[in-house]
Structure 1
Amino acid sequence: MILADDHVMVAEGLGRLVGEVADLVAQVENGKQLVEAVQRLKPDIVVSDVTMPVMSGLEALRQLKAGGSKTRFIFLTVHTEPQLATQAIRDGACGYLLKAAAGEELLDAIRAVMADRIYLTPHITKDVLQTMSRSTDGGGPSLSSRQLEVLRLIAQGKRMKEIAAQLGISVRTVEDHKSQLLAALGVKSTADLVKFAIKQGLVPE
């Protein structure tokens, strides 16, 4: 894992924290250093601030994705704007959470991304999905209200058992809905499903 943050004391604290769940191979202070470090070390995960000197975390992500990098990005930031979080996911980020909630939530986000899931902090998930819903042109596939409920909860990083308990249905039924969603949206994984849902605004307000 690589950690990118221009605030040294914050980065050192985060470095000690993420060491509980991953091996920290480098710590950088700006987007340019981040791009170079990812290209050299090819880590599985990056935890990055959005706003940094020289080059932003978002621009670093775009450059690396354009170059074919498979490194998964988690953004840890003070920015609560749903539009920024939406843009990060559109650009290929796998996680977005707030520094104010850092701690156990960051470890949860890292575990989720390692398990090939998208992690959006609950503090802004609803606003992000509403932002995308308002921007949709209505041209996406037709989904049932229950499918949309399942999709919304998947987008929040819920597990199958959690979704089943919240909706009062069996885990098998949730899995069936997920399979139908994958087929209807033409995607292959949970991560692809969530990214597609957010990009297309398929989750209602």
Structure 2
Amino acid sequence: MNKPRVLLADDHRIVAEGLKSLLADEFELAGIVEDGRALVQAAQELRPDVIVADISMPLLNGIEALARLKQQEPGVRVVFLTMHRDVAYARRALQAGAAGFVLKHSASAELVQAVHAALRGRIYVTPDLAGELMQASGQDAQRQADPIATLTPRQREILQLIAEGKSAKEVAAVLGLSARTVEDHKYRLMESLGIENSAELIHFAIKHGVVP
């Protein structure tokens, strides 16, 4: 009987190799990628049964990569493995359609379990956050809307790349746009967020988990 195939996405190769060893007994490794754009491409080409991905990755973070994959393949299963203990990350990941959310320090105890849950069509959330997540979801619309959710996918892409220190020209090269178009997007992004300069924009991206 063939083992389920898992694609790993983490920009720290040592971490990815450790995960490979952790999963080897029960799963076949479909591949390892190190950024969000490579993840989208590899998922389309390799068609793994489950993807195990970090949230914080270069070029395109894991949540944005998942959102893109969901548009093309609604049944894609992604288990996030992250060091971010903030319940806001878990909420955003699950809203994007994640199949699981595991903290890296709990990987040895929980990751295999989370991948099996994803294969059965269930959602696994680390017990460390499950209670907080239920409490947060039980609080209604009084809570302030997530400002990231108000941005378009293109704006979120550009925000991440700018926050990673790329110039408008470099962002344009990654996205296949003109530098002028990138500058226009950046201006509208800052205007919609009430931000006056690039330093504030980078601070916003860090504060809201767009980049680590």
Alignment equivalent of 2:44, drawn from 39, 42, 52: 39
Instruction: Give the distance between the partners of 1:29 and 1:18, measured in 2 at CA.
Output: 18
Q: CA deviation at 1:70?
A: 2.2
Aligned counterpart for 1:75 among listed residues 49, 73, 80: 80
More divergent stretch after superposition (28-37 vs 108-117): 108-117
Native 8 Å contact 1:44 1:70 kept in 2: no
Write the distance in 2 (CA, Å) between the matches of 1:51 and 1:108.
22
SS in 2 for 1:3: strand
Mapping 1:129-148, distance limit 5 Å:
129-135=134-140
Report SS of the residue matched to 1:76: strand
Alignment match, 2:29: 24
Pairwise CA distance, 1:3: 0.2
Measure the CA separation in 1 of the matches of 2:74 and 2:47. 8
The residue correspondences of 1:160-171 to structure 2 (distance < 5 A) are none
Gaps of 5+ in 2: 1-5, 143-212
Indicate the residue corresponding to 2:102 in structure 1.
97
Q: 1:104 to 1:20 in 2, by over 3 A?
A: farther
Q: Distance in 1 between matches of 2:74 and 2:120?
A: 18
Q: Give, in angstroms, the shift of residue 135 of structure 1.
A: 2.7
Tell me how far 1:69 sits from its aligned partner: 4.3
TM-score calculated relative to the size of structure 2? 0.62
Looking at structure 2, the residues matched to 81 and 124 of structure 1 have their Cα atoms a distance apart, in angstroms, of 8
Taking the aligned partners of 2:75 and 2:29, their CA distance within structure 1 comes to 17
The residue that corresponds to 2:115 in the other structure is: 110
| Aligned equivalent of 1:8 | 13
Secondary structure of the corresponding residue to residue 109 of structure 1: helix
Report the Cα distance in structure 2 between the residues aligned to 1:17 and 1:103, rounded to whole angstroms: 7
Alignment partners' CA distance in 1, 2:83 and 2:67: 20
Q: Distance in 2 between matches of 1:67 and 1:58?
A: 15
SS of residue in 1 equivalent to 2:40:
helix
More relative contact order in 1 or in 2 (CA 8 Å, sep 6+)? 1
For residue 139 of structure 2, give the secondary structure of its aligned residue in structure 1.
helix
Q: Measure the CA separation in 2 of the matches of 1:69 and 1:29.
A: 23
Q: How far, CA to CA, are the matches of 2:79 and 2:140 in structure 1?
A: 24
Please, what is the CA RMSD of the aligned residues? 1.2
Moved over 6 A (4+): none
Q: CA deviation at 1:21?
A: 1.8
* Structure 1 residue 6 displacement after superposition: 0.3
Unaligned runs of 5+ in 1: 138-205
Query: Which secondary structure state, in structure 2, belongs to the residue aligned with residue 10 of structure 1?
Result: helix
